[in-house]
Structure 1
């Protein structure tokens, strides 16, 4: 992976930041993309000070114009993109019948349309250059397992998952691989923001399960760390996964019972 160029969306924290750090450790030049420009620059500066190659590119993945502009800027400044990680995501909770128009549209704008905009922009440039590459979309185990209060999120992740697989089928002839990593409960700001009852009780509920909402626990008995998800992403980007495409790798400690 050394001397390759990667673009990571959702890079300002959580799983995206863990992926960025893992890539930089492997000698990859990384373009960090997120709407949180201040945090992006903090991470990029820290990595550069440690000898890594990382640059911040603030952008809104829900804007096709923004996406085309930022991909052009990345390739002009860093070179052609070899790896793309679609890590940007939002979560809007609530019963399906109570979700607002804005809840639904925002969820799909980031989690699904953003994946489409970014992937299209990167793939078109890969194909034009005749360059092989690898794309990983970070989805969710909720894409294949029904969850109470998560209809918009689950539906958006299911759509992003199938889009990524269809894209993988279409671009396989160019040597471009497209895969999905589906995390379960992971210790990120997205999860901990939901823990209104305190860390211990909320994390215990995730691990042990909640019968009244038809949610099984986590058989391995722990919440994932962002690095666990990042390791799976890095594997699918690497040459170790050279013959893997259109695959959905679930990393949830068994919470979806292998589905």
Structure 2
């Protein structure tokens, strides 16, 4: 395993930190990428405490120069990336309307109504950038070394919004729909270099941000949480460890060596339920 080097972006988050910790247990040397050093160091310390190897590298995944700098650090300290997990992304409150459909009041800049027509377009663009170019650029930078070595594995993060433009998250849905398409395109492009490219589409998993959206201060479910669970046949939210099996199957050359260009929903059945 000494030549198994995993680069995990968004590694300070709930889902990708669980993935990084599991990879380290398997013997991977893990490079943790993110914008907040404090969060990365927490994950790094957990890995090292279990006898694993990890380094933290602060960098913006949507910045090509920053990614090139991160690659130089990783290759000098660990080696050439053989597994890239693109988990960085997210949304911003200022890119979210507070209404699910058009309301005349949004045309009059009514402070009580934030619709599509009074969103901040710069914030809208930033959500698209972090979720699209924040995947494309790491593939571009780390994929080049993989192609030179004629081996590698890339896992992108898609979403339920890759399939359905869920209300109030237009920028995020637009970006994640693009990730599914990019994954297919890149898989076909990199096949001659012996690099497999797939994506995981998590359903509604709980993390620090989603807990604030799904639960009220008293612990009761919000209306949005109730709507989601109404359309989730398993009637619960996902937990980070439940992504691990899917990841491990995708990276296993024996069991998934002929699998590339697919996006796998891990969603409790959400996509199977039309809600009626």
Shift in Å, 1:216: 5.0
Query: 2:12, 2:36 within 8 Å by CA — same for their partners in 1?
Result: yes
User: Following superposition, which runs of at least 4 residues in structure 1 exceed 3 angstroms of deviation?
Assistant: 95-98
Query: 1:85, 1:137 within 8 Å by CA — same for their partners in 2?
Result: yes
5 Å matches for 1:9-88? 9-88=9-88
Query: Larger Cα Rg: Structure 1 or Structure 2?
Result: 2
Q: Matches of 2:6 and 2:65 in 1, distance apart?
A: 20
Shift in Å, 1:258: 7.2
Using CA pairs below 8 Å that are at least 6 residues apart, which structure has the higher relative contact order?
A: 1
- Matched residue of 2:168: which SS? coil
Query: 1:15, 1:230 within 8 Å by CA — same for their partners in 2?
Result: no
* Unpaired segments ≥5 residues, structure 2: 98-114
**2:221 paired residue number:** 201
Query: 2:3, 2:79 within 8 Å by CA — same for their partners in 1?
Result: no
Deviations 1:62-99, CA, capped at 9 Å, x for gaps? 21100111012111210111100000011132243343
TM-aligned CA distance change 1:218 to 1:248, over 3 Å? same
TM-score, normalised to structure 1, is 0.91
**2:232 paired residue number:** 218
Shift in Å, 1:102: 2.4
Shift in Å, 1:24: 1.0
**2:196 paired residue number:** 177
**1:253 paired residue number:** 268
- CA RMSD across the alignment: 2.0
**1:148 paired residue number:** 167
* Unpaired segments ≥5 residues, structure 1: none
Shift in Å, 1:197: 2.4
Deviations 1:161-199, CA, capped at 9 Å, x for gaps? 211210111001111000010011101123113236244
Q: Matches of 1:252 and 1:124 in 2, distance apart?
A: 32
Q: Matches of 1:228 and 1:60 in 2, distance apart?
A: 27
TM-score, normalised to structure 2, is 0.85
TM-aligned CA distance change 1:225 to 1:117, over 3 Å? same
- Matched residue of 1:256: which SS? helix
TM-aligned CA distance change 1:97 to 1:231, over 3 Å? farther
2:252 to 216, 224, 238: 238
5 Å matches for 1:3-14? 3-14=3-14
